[in-house]
Structure 1
Amino acid sequence: MTERHDDPALLTGAYALDALSDDERALLEDVLTTSPELQAETDSLRETALQLAYAVAPVEAPASLKTSLLAQIATTPQAAPVASTARTAPAQEARPAPAAQVTSIDAGPTAGGRASSEARRRWFQRPAVMLTAAAAVAAVFFGGLGVGSVFDPSNSSGPGTTQASSGLDRIYAASDFQRTTTKVEGGGSATVVWSNDLGKSAVILDGVQQAPKGKTYELWYIGGEAEGGAITAAGLVDGAADGVHSAVLKGSMSDGATIGMTVEPAGGSDQPTTTPIMAVPTTTA
């Protein structure tokens, strides 16, 4: 059976990775405006691609990478040009494909250990009145390995861009972007990314089990000294179930705030009612 490559439904995966030609992109985006089902599929794939990229810590390439690659290029024999004996129609001027933009992201400090433990202790050392309440899309480039915007989601304003994706994009594009990863009690890990300039943060869960029946995960900001340690609800995490799941925290993050997550009754709570299963301070190292 011959596979049809002009079927828009076959283009959603490549669209999520920004791997379509201009004509293919226009074809799919035109169909997305009239197909809620295809739009939902595209949003899901794009969100997954972003989550996988953001959940992977950058890897520093060895200093010998550039030298070895250039050495291989220098010693690789080039094929001789083949003379053409047949007359061919004048070829259209070739349009070079745009180079993939690659963004290098420095790894942030790793939580878990003393800082994370201290954050957990601080959480419930506040006055009682306050206590009632990510394989990856990576790009290789000369000089290092990093999470890359091979699909360049920040340049896409098409219908496949989701609110969560754009929120993560803004944080990752911030000049003061920071990230840290910690273990989640009960299994899995949480990567926290934030920007003090934007006053925004996000949590990317990897391998965290679904919340117990009748329960949900809730995110919190616990303010720094200037806020007197006030605890503010920052949204629920719905749909986390052993895979990679992201959530941009609601509200504004103050300097030095701690980001935490607790298990709460379905619908959430005004203030945390259980000990946090994850707490990460955003103080600058």
Structure 2
Amino acid sequence: MTERHDDPALMTGSHALDALSDDERALLEDALRTSPELQAENDSLRETALQLAYAVAPIEPPASLKASLLAQIATTPQAAPLADTTVDQTPVAETTSVQEARPEPARHVASIADGPTAGGRASSEARRRWFQRPAVTLTAAAAVAAVFFGGLGVGSIFDPNGSGTGTTQASSGLDRIYAASDFQRTTTKVAGGGSATVVWSNDLGKSAVILDGVEQAPKGKTYELWYIGSEEQGGTIKSAGLVDGAADGVHSAVLQGSMSEGATIGMTVEPEGGSEQPTTSPIMAVPTTTA
């Protein structure tokens, strides 16, 4: 029997960082369609990766950075490709019957330490992918973020147009907002504890809220988001959706509908299922006036 070389359960971390090959991505997406648990894990990792990427304010890199990098690329010699290494196929001497009867865990540890064998090559490859690729990708993403957060485009790290299964609405919506040329953000405290970071783009007419440390809504209640029009717009209040899943951690929600320029984004505690108009005072309100 042939051992499976790729386990979709080990691919969700790499998928969150866009670090899968086309074949690996297709394999994972097939598995996501039939496994709600794997889909939930994949969505959670994807959203967490985005929130980590957007956890700090954008910085403007020095104008000389791009020229310096290109100059180094032009003068740095390319390393020669590594020579292929071969595994010594010298037959291993047969062991005695007593050695063959040693406990299974010891035999398993020995096979890992001694190098790949005919039966362990697939699992060894999977382990390398799990430990090495995310680490390398995170390092690269951190370096790229330092450059691209300054205005060259967050979409280079996370594809905002990715159509793969498992990309949450909040994740893709955040991508588009952060990649917008007129992107703005502000952070405020939430009554009752925690904070809310509001990001928006007037060009897109979209906004999102990232809650950090906000407790779950009381039983029978829910958090509801609102667009509150400016005085020039008559102060019209429109529901922008419910916040589900906030539980004293980090949670993001892209507001529904279109945001008018200068609107205030608010959040209230409402009866489960939401309300047509606010029934309580806002626990968070952020004007989106241009800074």
**Over aligned residues, Cα RMSD in angstroms?**
3.8
- The aligned counterpart of 1:40 is 40
Q: Which runs of 4+ in 1 moved over 3 A?
A: 33-37, 59-70, 80-84, 141-151
1:232-247 to structure 2, matched below 5 A, reads 232-247=238-253
Distance 1:190 1:8, change over 3 A: same
Q: Distance in 2 between matches of 1:242 and 1:142?
A: 27
- The aligned counterpart of 2:215 is 209
- The aligned counterpart of 2:149 is 146
Calculate the TM-score normalised by the size of structure 1. 0.67
Residue aligned with 1:262, SS: strand
Q: Distance in 2 between matches of 1:157 and 1:201?
A: 21
Whether the aligned pair in 1 keeps the contact of 2:141 and 2:157 (CA below 8 Å) is: no
- The aligned counterpart of 2:30 is 30
- The aligned counterpart of 2:235 is 229
Q: Distance in 2 between matches of 1:249 and 1:283?
A: 17
Q: Does 2:254 align with 1:248? A: yes
Q: Which has the larger radius of gyration?
A: 2
User: How big is the shift at 1:138?
Assistant: 6.0
Alpha-carbon displacement from aligned partner over 1:131-170 (angstroms, at most 9, x marks no partner): xxxx9x9633597583955752325221122222222222
Q: Distance in 2 between matches of 1:173 and 1:164?
A: 14
| Structure 2: runs of 5+ lacking an equivalent | 87-137
- The aligned counterpart of 1:198 is 204
Alpha-carbon displacement from aligned partner over 1:66-89 (angstroms, at most 9, x marks no partner): 99999xx9xxxx9x98998x99xx
Higher RCO by CA contacts (8 Å cutoff, separation 6 or greater): 1
User: How big is the shift at 1:241?
Assistant: 0.8
Kindly provide the amino acid, as one letter, of the partner of residue 250 in structure 1. Answer: Q
Q: Distance in 2 between matches of 1:253 and 1:27?
A: 38
1:60-209 to structure 2, matched below 5 A, reads 139-141=142-144, 146=149, 148=154, 151-209=157-215
Decide which moves more: 36-45 or 200-209: 36-45
Whether the aligned pair in 1 keeps the contact of 2:161 and 2:172 (CA below 8 Å) is: no
Residue aligned with 2:164, SS: coil
Residue aligned with 1:49, SS: helix
Q: Does 2:286 align with 1:283? A: no
Q: Distance in 1 between matches of 2:80 and 2:257?
A: 61
Alpha-carbon displacement from aligned partner over 1:63-118 (angstroms, at most 9, x marks no partner): 99999999xx9xxxx9x98998x99xxxxxxxxxxxxxxxxxxxxxxxxxxxxxxx
Distance 1:32 1:142, change over 3 A: closer
Whether the aligned pair in 2 keeps the contact of 1:223 and 1:257 (CA below 8 Å) is: yes
- The aligned counterpart of 2:19 is 19
**Comparing both structures, which one devotes a greater share of its residues to helix?**
2
User: How big is the shift at 1:32?
Assistant: 2.6
Alpha-carbon displacement from aligned partner over 1:21-69 (angstroms, at most 9, x marks no partner): 3332232223333434322322222122223323332356689999999
Residue aligned with 2:149, SS: strand
Distance 1:231 1:23, change over 3 A: same
Q: Distance in 2 between matches of 1:203 and 1:39?
A: 23
Q: Distance in 2 between matches of 1:218 and 1:82?
A: 56
Q: Distance in 2 between matches of 1:21 and 1:258?
A: 42
Kindly provide the amino acid, as one letter, of the partner of residue 272 in structure 2. Answer: A
Residue aligned with 1:261, SS: strand
Residue aligned with 1:275, SS: coil
Distance 1:255 1:17, change over 3 A: same
User: How big is the shift at 1:251?
Assistant: 1.6
Alpha-carbon displacement from aligned partner over 1:164-183 (angstroms, at most 9, x marks no partner): 22222222222222111111
- The aligned counterpart of 2:225 is 219
Decide which moves more: 138-147 or 37-46: 138-147
Whether the aligned pair in 2 keeps the contact of 1:138 and 1:146 (CA below 8 Å) is: no
| Structure 1: runs of 5+ lacking an equivalent | 88-134
